[in-house]
Amino acid sequence: MTAATPHDFIPGPQNTRMLRDAFGRFATGVTLVTAAHEDGCMAITANSFSSISMDPPLVMWSPARASSRYAGFAAARHFVIHVLAADQADLAWAVARNRDALDGAGLALNDQGVPVLERCLARFDCAQFALHEAGDHAIILGRVLNARIAEGAPLAFYGGRIAGIALD
């Protein structure tokens, strides 16, 4: 197997595509983040999720500040991060393309009134702990109030594509 020819990144607007492609070489899980707003459910697909701390229990995700959904999530006191399963790619893309994709989906509400999916691999019910602006994104830290897990294969994001990962 031959290695690909490396390309160096030199900061500047002419290289944003190359940098985005380089970021895309890191495979991540796919999450769907929900929060309540005056019209019902607000949802966004995100691959920028990570655990941060066990004590206190903290997680983070990072929405784009230019997103039309950013202000609602930045102001949300509570949100839920759902780790999606391999067979939920259509849901991930639907929410990525349409902020109202979950309207009328019959979502349940958690104890904080946040819409939740009935099925996912893991669910983190969070209270906003901190928000930090970081370039064109923000880092939203959530204190985990409750977590649930289920068995299944994960959904992954790599190189601009979403695919399930088969587990042996």
Which tokens belong to 69?
């959904």
Higher pLDDT, 93 or 165: 93
Per-residue confidence (pLDDT) for residue 145, from 0 to 100:
97
Mean pLDDT rounded to a whole number for the chain: 88
28-31, long-range: CB within 8 Å, 24+ apart, which pairs? 28/156, 28/157, 28/158, 29/83, 29/84, 29/154, 29/155, 29/156, 29/157, 30/83, 30/84, 30/88, 30/89, 30/92, 30/154, 30/155, 30/156, 30/157, 30/162, 31/61, 31/81, 31/82, 31/83, 31/84
| 71: amino acid identity, one letter | A
The answer, yes or no, to whether the previous bond of 57 is cis (omega within 30 of 0) is no
Per-residue confidence (pLDDT) for residue 6, from 0 to 100:
63
Structural domains in the chain plus CATH codes: 28-157 (2.30.110.10)
**3 state SS of 104:** coil
Higher pLDDT, 52 or 11: 52
The Cα angle at residue 12 between residues 8 and 16, in degrees rounded to 5: 70
Give one DSSP letter per residue of 143-157, joined into a string: EEEEEEE--SPBEEE
Per-residue confidence (pLDDT) for residue 61, from 0 to 100:
98
Above 90 in pLDDT, residue 103? no
Above 80 in pLDDT, residue 19? no
Q: What is the pLDDT of residues 63-99, one digit of tens each?
A: 999 999 999 999 999 999 999 999 999 999 999 998 7
Higher pLDDT, 39 or 150: 150
**H-helix or E-strand containing 23?**
helix 16-23
**In this structure, are residues 164 and 154 in contact, taking their beta carbons and an 8 Å threshold?**
yes
Confidence of residue 5 (pLDDT cuts 50, 70, 90): low
Instruction: Kindly report which listed range (12-21, 93-102, 120-129) carries the lowest average pLDDT score.
Output: 12-21
For the four alpha carbons of 92, 98, 103 and 105, in that order, the dihedral sign comes to negative
